[in-house]
Amino acid sequence: MGQIDPGPEAGSAEHVATGAKDAEHDRQRLFLDAVLDSLHDGVTACDAAGRIVLTNARMHRLWEGLPPLAGTDGDTVVDGLCDRDGTPLTGARLPLLRALRGERLRDEELVLHAGTRHTRHYLAHAQPIVGPDGTAMGAVQAVQDVTRRRRAERFRTCELAVTTALAAAPSVTAAGPRVLAAVGGTLEWAHAELWLVDDAAKVLRPAASWSATGWQADVAVPDELGYGQGLAGRAWQAGKSLWIRDVGRPQSLISQRTAAAAQLHTALAIPVRHGPEPLGVLTVFTDAVEDPEDEVVALLSGIAAHIGQFVERRLVEDLQRQLARSRDEYLALIGHELRTPLTSISTYAELLREMDPAVLAAQGPQLLEVIERNTGQLRHIIDELLELAALDTGHAAMAMAPVDLADVVRESVESARAAIEPSVLQLSAEVPEKLVLAGDRRRLRQIIDNLVGNAVKYSPDGGRVSVTLRPVGRAAELVVSDTGIGVAPEERDKLFTRLYRTSRARDRAIPGTGLGLALSRAVVQGHRGTIELTEHEGPGTTVRVRLPLDAAR
């Protein structure tokens, strides 16, 4: 008889049981994977030997292409990874491996500086996995990306720092470095610049710059940028924000021209405005490649708006202070300037009245000449005051038309040269053949006559007066220099106010009304230009006028 073989039946039952266990295991594993992959945090687990045995999808996305979480030698520094204090982490200090040694970690902050990628901030929670017998079976950690939260906190800190800097500063030049330090330091960018528009020259001039540690000696900022030149000039021209993800090489959009500029990648420029016209441009640069972020643009746009309001507010406050300071001076000076010729007229009229016919016939014409001269001086003062008031209030119309400024300067210089002896005073001029702008020819001649006349009047015998006209960017620049008595440093701010005369002019009894420069400033401003007293080497004075070369207003 053949032996009954129970094997197939028994084997089938064992196979079914094993299959059922495998299916249940797979089902549980799929369930666990689905749960882990649905988590917002990245999860990683390792076995007792430190080998990674589980990583969910979120962890793969967070840590893709970055240093390993385990398996690193204990003394080896993990590239780019540090704690909240900036201390680089070694393999032994990784949260997962610390948990494997029995530590329980909560809210352990990690900062990752990953080359040209944006700095990331993480919070890690880790704990050991303990078996039934109390031995360590492994460890698990959960990592949360808190970069956006940290950035929002830094944004609030940045806005507060900017507001504080602007509130405490007397000028945008004084506030600029603190504002840029707040912006660059908070956003962890390498370099920042603040540019302001010079309306007359139609160029951008640097008001402040800031560089992170290690960059200060490497970044050079030019003296000016033209319309459309460099990143700041491009933003000024476009009138809107510009984000350059990676400027590449050559970096024509970056204002720096140094070796450090070759290491800069992302650049952002924000126009500074208060009203329709840009007042300047705020630019920031980083050594990492960063994609455009609306949050960063919004933050810097808000800061740029604060700067624009600050510039306008300080301008208004300065004007108010000048008006308050000059009101009493103005009343005293105008009283003096009008009283002097009036007193002379009154005195000589009284003398004429008291003279007998014989003396009147002999001396009368001479006295009448003095009265006529003082009457003319009085009329001149009143005419200038009325014209100055009309210009200041906008009631004096400018007859704007294309004007060859070079020709006007030549006429003024030749007229002044004809009135002086060449052996007494040297008058030189450097003028281009032609330089056309939109302006009022009569009033422009008035400015030049005032400046050249002052230079001649205040220069002693043997002195020199030079007049230079040249195009600078989108402006015509007129410079009148002399070797005369000069202006004391403490009086320079008052030089363009009405009826102001320097102490040196008064001490030397040099005649004048103190209205010429105030009138010149009003005419220059009516042409959208600037006039200023510039630095001068040696004795004398240098006045610079800049007028825009726009074809139309």
Per residue in 500-529, pLDDT tens?
555 555 545 445 555 667 777 878 888 888
Indicate the DSSP class of residue 31: H
User: How remote is the C-alpha of 89 from its chain's centroid?
Assistant: 38
**Which residues make beta-bridge pairs with 428?**
466
Asked if the model's pLDDT at residue 405 lies above 90, the reply is yes
pLDDT at 8: 46
Q: Rounded distance, CA 189 to CA 211, Å?
A: 9
187's torsion region: left (phi>0), alpha (psi -120 to 50) or beta? alpha
Q: Tell me the average pLDDT of the chain.
A: 77
∠ CA 389-392-395, nearest 5°, is 75
Asked if the model's pLDDT at residue 434 lies above 70, the reply is yes
112 contacts: CB under 8 Å, gap ≥ 6? 66, 80, 81, 119, 120, 121, 122
**Which residues make beta-bridge pairs with 141?**
44, 126
Evaluate the CA torsion angle 212, 215, 217, 219 in order and state its sign.
negative
**Which residues make beta-bridge pairs with 456?**
none
Instruction: Please spell the DSSP secondary structure of 376-402, one letter per residue.
Output: HHHHHHHHHHHHHHHHHHT-S----EE
Indicate the DSSP class of residue 4: P
Asked if the model's pLDDT at residue 38 lies above 80, the reply is no
Name the band, by pLDDT with cuts 50, 70 and 90, for residue 93.
confident
Q: Rounded distance, CA 345 to CA 367, Å?
A: 9
Per residue in 253-276, pLDDT tens?
555 544 455 577 888 999 998 777
Choose between 2 and 74: higher pLDDT: 74
Q: Rounded distance, CA 317 to CA 141, Å?
A: 58
Evaluate the CA torsion angle 222, 223, 228, 231 in order and state its sign.
positive
- The answer to whether the CB of 368 falls within 8 A of the CB of 352 is yes
Name the band, by pLDDT with cuts 50, 70 and 90, for residue 279.
confident
Token pair, residue 356, equals 């007998």
SS3 at position 507: helix
Does pTM surpass 0.85? no
Q: What is the mean pLDDT of residues 164-176?
A: 82
Asked if the model's pLDDT at residue 281 lies above 90, the reply is yes
Q: How many CB atoms lie within 10 A of CB 543?
A: 24
* Phi, psi angles (nearest 5°) of residue 254: -100, 140
Ranges 55-64, 156-165, 227-236, most confident: 227-236
Please name each of the domains of the chain with its CATH number.
21-145 (3.30.450.20), 148-393 (3.30.450.40), 397-553 (3.30.565.10)
Q: What is the mean pLDDT of residues 435-448?
A: 90
